[in-house]
Amino acid sequence: MKKIISFVCLFTSLSLFAQEKLNYIDFDDVKTEFNNQLKEKNYEKVLEALNKINKNDSAYYAGLVSKVYYLKELEKYEEAIKVADEGLAHENVDSKSTFLNQQALSYIALKDYKNAMKVLDDGLKEFPMYYLFYVNKGVAYEGLKEYAKAASMYQQAIIINPYYANAHFRLGYICYQYQKTTLALMCFNTYMLLNPDGSNSLTMLEAFNKTVSAKYTEEKLPGKNVLGDNDAFEEIDLIINNQAALNKKYKTGNKIDYSLAKQNHALLALLKDYTPENDNFWDTRYVPLYKWIQENNQYDNFIYTISFSVENASYKAIVAKKTQNIKSFLIEFYTKWIDIISKNKEEFEGKNQIVKYAYYNSLLDAKGLTKNDKKIGNWYVYDKNGKLSSKVKFNDEGEKDGLWIYYDNKGNVTSEENYKNGKLDGVFTSYHENNKKQLIANYLEGKVTGTYKKFNKPGALIEQGTLNDGKLDGDYLTFYRLGENFPDYNKVPYKMGVVEGLLSEFWENGQLYTSIMFKDDKRQGEQIKYYDDGKIMSKTNYVNNLETGAFVSYHRNGTIKEEGKIENGLNEGEWKTYYDNGKMETVFNYIKGKFDGAYKKFDREDKLISEFIYKKGDIIAYKYYNQDGSVLKEAKKQKGEFYYEGYNRLGYKIAEGLYDVNGGKKGEWKFYNENGNLSSKSTYEDGKVIGEAVDYFGNGNLKKKSFYENDTIKGYYVSYYVTGNIYQQGTYKNGELNGVWLSYYKDTTISVKNFYHKGKLHGEQEYYAANGKLSYISTYEYDVLKSQRFFNSKGEEKYKIDYTVFDDEPYQLVSYNYNKTVENSVTYLYNVKHGKFTSHNYEGKLVITGNYFNGDEDGEWIYYHDNGKIKKKGSYAKGKKHGLWEEFHENGKLSDKEIYYYGKLNGISEDYNDKGILTNTYNYVDGMLQGPRTFYSEDGKIQLFRYYKDDILIGYSYLGKDGKEIPMIEIKNETGKIVTYFDNGKVSREMEYINGNLINAYKEYYYTGQLAEEQSFVDGFKNGKYTIYYPNGKVKAIHNYNMGDLHGVSKLFYEDGTLKEEITYINNDQNGENKYYNKLGKLTSIEVYFDDEIETKTIY
């Protein structure tokens, strides 16, 4: 009893979850909230806003950058480190240097200098010229009390970014602690020169002034010549430290005479006689700068500049009058400073030599050798984060020469180009981000010439041509995504940019699609288009690139589809279209490309359905006709509008609303299904949908709701199952799916969690099994599938498929069963399914074999039962079923056969039971049921004829006691009760329809009168218990349905009533235990299913 209760709970509890309206979070709203909180400096609220960004949003990565920064600002360093790790693990690397830097700063704040150093060292491997890494390594070294190493890091940062003031300050402070006053003063001065009007300039000015006004009282850091200065400035230090310049009698000649100004005056005077003798940072950088100031009599302007933030009233007045002097001086200073800092003696390409550094926007842009002020040899170019972005080369004349290589932010080569004497010359190659070639071209003396080739991202050749003086000249070819063996346009004849000759275009399978002659780049003569099987699709004629003369198109079966006349590119005169059976479908008239006169539409039996009257392209009147030819409805334009009512071929209303001949639909419009029931309604303004649009099921229940603004769908969208449970919900933005979308099983369990960015799948898409557990995750990048991860019922990853690894030769991608045997094997070419497909079951037996061609199922596909016998077979054409399809029972007997014509059922279909007895026949025309559908009992006796017209049930019949079919009993609106009889007078079938949907009890009987099947329907869906009986009255099978889905335990029995199988279904998928018994009732095996696949199997 406990097991039964638990089992019932399993299937009832799933439907107890309430389906709440999805809370849509628009990034624009998040951005507004972020900015508002940032203005208030409420960083906690800033983080709350950032946490609202979905992980799949394209803005999520940028959000992590902000998040790690503000966590650090709030001193939440451990969290900042974790967020940085998340950012570093992301496939986007645009902000990798920022994450590394912020993570290092967080470690430094925690005084974890070793981990900070590790992060920065790892960063420098990829960003060798990122100045902030050197600055923060210096800070970490200071924390470790390794001051000499810290100073070295600050010096390197200065060389990379000479304008970064903070590096000068930190270097100066180390010098100060070593009582290297001269060095410290030069560092502090440079800080002020680079930052004269900064937010903390006044504070620093006052601190520097105080520093040079008092004796050094702190304990000097130990060590001799640790800063590499060789104590060359001892004499200057002694004079500065003795503060001789601070004597009131000491005059500088400038009215600004506070301590820092005086000490600097003394410094410059002393440096005048100083001769640099060392090759160190001080003698090669700072000393030349300050000697330049002294030698060029720039002391006054120098003092005005560093005093720019001074608060002393008299000094401030002086500085204010010298603003122009300051501006001029700064220009000269920057020029001189870059000239000094740009020459660096270092090891370069195996030699110790002078290397020239070039700067852009304050940062190192490139470095290499120069000769006579011209770039020569190899140069290395870096991006703003210090990562190598290109390797280039110059000849001795400073001209571009040799191979130039460019890199993206992941370090992959983006292009390679060759130069000779300053001009592009030789092969040019560009690459996709996956390192596959994108373009190969040739240059000669700066002009692209000769053959070029373009490739798609997976590596397939998609375009090839020959260029002469920048113009196409010769054969031009394009290819399908499968590469050069699959031409699209083949050998388009170009002569200096003009098409001249026969142009041919082909289908993927090599069949000719069309050919047309060109003269002077214009189409001339007859153009014939063909279907992919070689049959003619259409014929037309061109004169000077304009269609002129007779036009005719054909159905695939060879009958005419459309015919008419064209004059100078515009349709003219009478045009006709035809059904594929040769019957006329429409006849209408054109005047200069616009409808004019009667537009008549007929059904497949030549009966007139409707007639619209046009004048210069506008509808001015219309008529709908009954089956007997009488007028059903007509209307004419009055004051530029009319109330339109449209009808189908059976006379049921399909649409109504006000029509303005100039603006189109106006006001509320209603649309109806084939039975005349309201199917949707919406409001129009000037022919465009506005406001709420609502769709309905045939029973009147809500099907979906959406909102439009100026004909563009926007905002919240929701669709429903006929039961009222939500099927799908999400949000549109600017007419495109955006953000999170949820789909559900019929019992309200979530089936899919999607995320869209501007209508494209982006990020991780989660797919759930029918029991609510995660089945697999597909990762997309703007609609391109990148990978899939599959999970078992415990949530453990089963395996992963990577779709980013491409090969130029056919290759296989495989998926696996839960016992790790190969399940599916698909052949790919250039990331397209192309070639053999096989599928094997849990036990390794072949269950499907077929082929793909250019991504579509193609040719014969065969499906097998577990016993090895054929289950189903048939052929595909371009992914659509085509030709005869047959299914078979496990005993090998035919189960059903259908005939398809390019995806649509056509002709007679038949069903058979496992004894080979015909049980069903029905006729399809162009995918729609037409005429009688005949039902037979299990022993082959006729039970029922149901009659259809264009897929609509119009009546039924059965055999009378005389063995002859009785006259058809008409059914209107596909609504009514049907009871039919065998020719022995016993009831054969009982059912009820409403608006084309089966409802309530449905019963089928054997010829003897014994009940064969009983089931119930709700709105056309099987719902509840479905029981099948043997002829002896014993139960053969019991199934449970939830609105068309198998849901619950299905039980199958032997003919004597012994239990044969128990199959567990949830939402139409097998989930849970399946048990199998022999005829003696003994359990033989148990299969445990997850997401419709066997997870484990136990045999007894």
What span, in angstroms and rounded, lies between the C-alpha atoms of 998 and 1011? 19
Render pLDDT for 1017-1058 as a digit per residue (tens, 0 to 9): 999 999 999 999 999 999 999 999 999 999 999 999 999 999
Task: Give the helix/strand (H/E) hosting 12.
Answer: helix 2-12
The runs of H, that is alpha helices, within 864-923 are: none
pLDDT at 727 over 90: yes
What's the chain's length in residues?
1100
Assess contact for 821 and 844: CB atoms under 8 A. Answer: yes
pLDDT of residue 223: 76
pLDDT tens per residue across span 114-165:
999 999 999 999 999 999 999 999 999 999 999 999 999 999 999 999 999 9
The predicted pLDDT at position 805 comes to 83
Stretch 951-964: mean pLDDT: 96
Q: Residue 198's Cα: distance from chain center in Å?
A: 44
Q: How far apart are CA 1027 and CA 756, in angstroms?
A: 44
- Is this model's pTM higher than 0.85 or not? yes
Measured between alpha carbons, how far is 87 from 83 in angstroms, rounded to an integer? 6
With contact defined as beta carbons under 8 Å apart, do 420 and 446 qualify? no
Contact present, 1017 and 1000 (Cβ < 8 Å): yes
- What's residue 13's pLDDT? 34
Strands, E assignment, 309-362 = 343-348, 351-360
Query: What is the 8-class DSSP label of residue 722?
Result: T
Mean pLDDT score of the chain: 94
Q: What is the rounded CA–CA span in Å between residue 95 and residue 127? A: 12
In the predicted model, is pLDDT for residue 206 greater than 50? Answer: yes
Share of the chain above pLDDT 90, in %: 88
Alpha-carbon distances, residue 476 vs 492, 725, 903 (angstroms): 5, 56, 35
From CA 28, how far away is CA 904, in angstroms rounded?
A: 45
Confidence of residue 18 (pLDDT cuts 50, 70, 90): low
What is the set of domains in the chain, with CATH numbers? 27-161 (1.25.40.10), 180-339 (no CATH), 348-424 (no CATH), 637-716 (no CATH), 721-804 (2.20.110.10), 806-929 (3.90.930.1)
Question: How many angstroms separate the CA atoms of 879 and 874, rounded?
Answer: 12
pLDDT score recorded for residue 9: 36
Residue 2 pLDDT exceeds 70: no
List of residues 6+ apart from 323 with CB closer than 8 A: none
Task: Quote the tokens at residue 1053.
Answer: 């029995």
What pLDDT is attached to residue 212? Answer: 87
Q: How many angstroms from the chain centroid is the CA of residue 437?
A: 22
Contact 1025, 1003 (CB under 8 A): no
* Residue 663 pLDDT greater than 80, yes or no: no
Q: Which residues, in sequence order, are CB contacts of 995 under 8 Å at separation 6+? A: 673, 675, 677, 698, 699, 973, 974, 975
User: 266-279: string of b/e by CB count within 10 Å (b at 16+)?
Assistant: bbbebbeebeeeee
Q: What's the rounded mean pLDDT across residues 798-827?
A: 92
What values do phi and psi take at 232, rounded to 5? -70, -15
- The CA dihedral of 464, 466, 472, 476, to the nearest 10 degrees, is -40
Q: Is 496 left (phi over 0), alpha (psi -120 to 50) or beta?
A: left
Res 470: pLDDT: 87
Cα–Cα distance between 677 and 703 in angstroms, integer?
Answer: 13
